[in-house]
């Protein structure tokens, strides 16, 4: 699969999550929202890495890591 397709899919996931949150269709605490952010950011990071854009790799990796931490907190609270 083309890096442009992968990167575009990642960015689309990020933008869709953002838009759905703004429209109050997805909460920033929902599993779907957080997974969209994790997957989207990782795909965007891979695309940035492939293009040699290290600052964007760092940005997207931190974005994904932050969403992963938040997802862990949400899932831990649900299981309590």
**Local confidence pLDDT in tens for the 80 residues of the chain:** 899 999 999 999 999 999 999 999 999 999 999 999 999 999 999 999 999 999 999 999 999 999 999 999 999 999 88
Residue-range domain boundaries for the chain: 3-79
| Three-class DSSP category at 78 | helix
Q: Could you write out the DSSP letters of every residue in 9-70?
A: HHHHHHHHHHHHHHTTSS-TTSHHHHHHHHHHHHHHHHHHHHTT-HHHHHHHHHHHHHHHHH
Confidence at residue 1, expressed as pLDDT on a 0 to 100 scale: 86
Q: Which two tokens stand for residue 50?
A: 């492939």
The model's pTM: 0.94
């Amino acid at each position: 699969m083309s890096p442009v397709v992968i990167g575009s899919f990642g960015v689309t996931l990020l933008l869709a999550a953002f838009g759905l949150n703004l429209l109050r269709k997805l909460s920033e605490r929902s599993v779907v929202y957080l997974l969209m952010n994790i997957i989207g950011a990782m795909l965007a990071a891979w695309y940035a890495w492939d293009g040699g854009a290290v600052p964007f790799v760092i940005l997207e990796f931190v974005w994904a890591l932050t969403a992963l931490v938040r997802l862990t907190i949400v899932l831990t609270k649900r299981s309590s």
